[in-house]
Amino acid sequence: MGHATVRLFEALLGVTALESVGILVDPARKTLKRLPAIPLK
C-alpha cells in the first residue's frame, strides 16, 4: 500500500468514528456538526 492509500483509510476511519458518536463531517465547508440525540426509549 502506498502512503496516499494509508492516509485515505485513516481519513475514512476518522469520519466513521465521528459519525458513530453523532458528529457529521462536512468536507466541503470543513466543519463538524453535532447531530441531535435519539432517545433510546
Summarize the confidence of residues 22-33 as an average pLDDT: 92
Domain residues for the domain of 23 are 3-34
DSSP-based three-state secondary structure for 14 = helix
Residue 40 forms part of a structural domain: no
Give the pLDDT of residue 1.
64
Summarize the confidence of residues 10-25 as an average pLDDT: 91
Summarize the confidence of residues 3-18 as an average pLDDT: 89
**Number of domains within the chain:** 1
Residue 41 forms part of a structural domain: no
Residue 22 forms part of a structural domain: yes
Confidence of residue 7 (pLDDT cuts 50, 70, 90): confident
Distant-in-sequence, close-in-space partners of 36: CB < 8 Å, separation ≥ 6: none
Q: What is the pTM of this model?
A: 0.69
Summarize the confidence of residues 9-36 as an average pLDDT: 91
DSSP H or E stretch at residue 23:
strand 23-26
Residue 9 forms part of a structural domain: yes
- The β-bridge partners of 18 are none
